[in-house]
Amino acid sequence: MKLRAIITGSTGMVGEGVLLECLEDPNVEKILLLNRKPYGINHPKVEEIIHSDFSDISSIKDKLKGYNACFFCSGVSSIGLNEEEFFKLTYTLTLHVASTLASLNPNMSFSYISGAGTDSTEKGKTMWARVKGKTENDLLKLPFAKVYNFRPGYMHPTPGAKNTLSAYKYIGWSFPVLRTIFPKRVSTLKQLGLAMIRASENGYSKNTIEVEDILVLANS
């Protein structure tokens, strides 16, 4: 199946990593970047929409029709935010965009970047994990063809990417060691991108995609 994919968050490290894999994959025929600020790319597959307010995307709804995959890579760190602020930027914005896309493209596969340690019970002590857990749970209730909640751990950046977090310049050397010691908690961004593409193309037996599932999908 050829994918026509919407990608959010391509100006961040994870979203850019997914974008780079989509650019190389022959089964991805069309990419729509939905960003708050320009990524800046000239490629025959790619169209970009700059929209500053993800809490209201009604003005661009008509441009979001005709896609069969979404790789939702937007997100913020919980550091420095209280629960109300983090909930708005994580749950409310994600569910608003996802609900709109589900109404426009019911055959869509929706892949959400969550995180290792997310709390599906929504009752744990860790604030970010509860909010992410509620986001995952409520995405599964939307009328998409498929929903996949990806929970990556450490992600080794893609060489040459322009949005790699500066911290990775100092810890990147440890990747081979981490991969040896924690083989089920470590992947590359390339593997994550491939896994998201393969799940959207071919499906997967689980809705919650842990690191070990990412590795399986990337090699499928």
Domain boundaries, the chain: 3-218
Q: Average pLDDT in the 41-49 region? A: 96
Is it the case that residue 62 has pLDDT exceeding 90? yes
pTM for this prediction: 0.92
End-to-end CA distance of the chain: 15
Class of domain 3-218: alpha beta
Q: What angle do CA 148, 149, 153 make, to 5 degrees?
A: 130
Q: At 30, give phi and psi (nearest 5°).
A: -150, 135
What is the H or E stretch that residue 209 is in? strand 208-209
| Tens-digit pLDDT profile for residues 138-174 | 999 999 999 999 999 988 887 777 777 666 665 665 6
